[in-house]
Amino acid sequence: MTTFREQLKGRFAVLGVVVLVVLGALAVRLWSMQVIASTQYTAAAQNNSTREVSLPAPRGRILDVKGRPLVTNRPVMNVTAPSSISQDATLVARLSAAIDVPVDEIQSKLASFKQERLAPHVLRTDVPLAVAAYLSEHSADFPGVEVQEAAVRDYPFGSLAGHVLGYTGEISEEQLAATSTVNASMGDIVGKTGVEAFYDKVLQGEKGFRRFEVDNQGRVRSVLAEGAPIAGKDVRLTINKDVQAVAEKALADALVEAHRQGFTKARAGAAVVLDVKTGAVVAMASVPTYDPAVFLGGVSPAEWKSLNDPASNYPLNNRAIMAAYPPASTFKSIDAMAGLQAKLITAGTRFTCTGRWSGFGSQWAKWCWLHSGHGSLNLTGAIEASCDSYFYNVGKLFYEAPGEQLQAFARSIGLGAPLGIDLPGEVAGRVPDAAWKKAFNQNYPEYQQWVPGDTVNMAIGQGDLLVTPLQLASAYATLGNGGTVIQPHVLDAVLASDGTASIVATTTVISDAKLSPANVATLRSALVGVTTVGTAKSVFRGFPVSVAGKTGTAQVNGKDDLAVFACYAPAVAPRYAIAVIIEQGGHGGSVSGPAARQIMSYLFGKKYTAIHTTDVSR
Partner 1 sequence: MRPRRPLLRIVSDRLHIGLVSAVVILLAYGSLMVWTATVTMVAHTALVQRQFIGIALGCLFLIGAWLIDYTQYKSWTGPLMILLCVLILSPRIPGLGGTASGATSWLEVFGVRLFQPSEPAKLLFIVVLAAVVAEFGGKIERRPDVLKVAGYVALPFVLILLQPDLGTGLVFIMIALGMLLVGGLKGRWFAVAAVLIVVFAVAGLTTPLLQQYQKDRLLVFVDPSRDPKGAGYNLAQSKIAIGSGGMTGTGLAAGTQSRFNFIPEPHTDFIFSVLGEQFGFVGAIMLLALYLALLSATLSISASSRDLYGALIAAGLLSMWLFQILENIGMTIGIMPVTGIPLPFMSYGSSFMVTNLAGVGILLSIWSRRYGTGL
Binding site for partner 1 (CB under 8 A): 1, 4-5, 7-9, 11-12, 14-16, 18-20, 22-23, 25-27, 29-31, 33-35, 37-38, 40-42, 44-46, 48-50, 213-217, 221
To partner 1, the closest distance from the beta carbon of 227 in angstroms equals 22
Of 322, 563, 472, 426, the closest CA to residue 313 belongs to 322
Cβ proximity to partner 1: between 15 and 97 the closer is 15
End-to-end CA distance of the chain: 130
Cβ proximity to partner 1: between 27 and 97 the closer is 27
Strand partners, 554: 562
To partner 1, the closest distance from the beta carbon of 122 in angstroms equals 25
Q: Could you tell me if 111 and 43 are in contact, meaning their C-beta atoms sit under 8 angstroms apart?
A: no
Cβ proximity to partner 1: between 25 and 93 the closer is 25
Strand partners, 576: 275, 569
Q: How large is the greatest C-alpha to C-alpha distance in the chain, in angstroms?
A: 146
Q: Could you tell me if 273 and 128 are in contact, meaning their C-beta atoms sit under 8 angstroms apart?
A: no
To partner 1, the closest distance from the beta carbon of 469 in angstroms equals 58
Q: Could you tell me if 54 and 207 are in contact, meaning their C-beta atoms sit under 8 angstroms apart?
A: yes
Cβ proximity to partner 1: between 36 and 177 the closer is 36
3-class SS letters over 365-428: CEECCCCCCCEEECHHHHHHHCCHHHHHHHHHHHHHCCCCHHHHHHHHCCCCCCCCCCCCCCCC
CB neighbours of residue 31 within 10 Å: 11
To partner 1, the closest distance from the beta carbon of 22 in angstroms equals 5
Cβ proximity to partner 1: between 117 and 356 the closer is 117
To partner 1, the closest distance from the beta carbon of 117 in angstroms equals 15
User: Which amino acid does the sequence have at 185?
Assistant: S
Cβ proximity to partner 1: between 67 and 82 the closer is 82
Cβ proximity to partner 1: between 48 and 139 the closer is 48
To partner 1, the closest distance from the beta carbon of 116 in angstroms equals 20
To partner 1, the closest distance from the beta carbon of 6 in angstroms equals 10
To partner 1, the closest distance from the beta carbon of 34 in angstroms equals 4
Close Cβ partners of 577 (under 8 Å, ≥ 6 residues apart): 273, 274, 276, 473, 474, 476, 477, 480, 566, 567, 568
Query: How many helical (H) and strand (E) elements, i.e. helices and strands, does the chain have?
Result: 21, 23
Cβ proximity to partner 1: between 225 and 228 the closer is 225
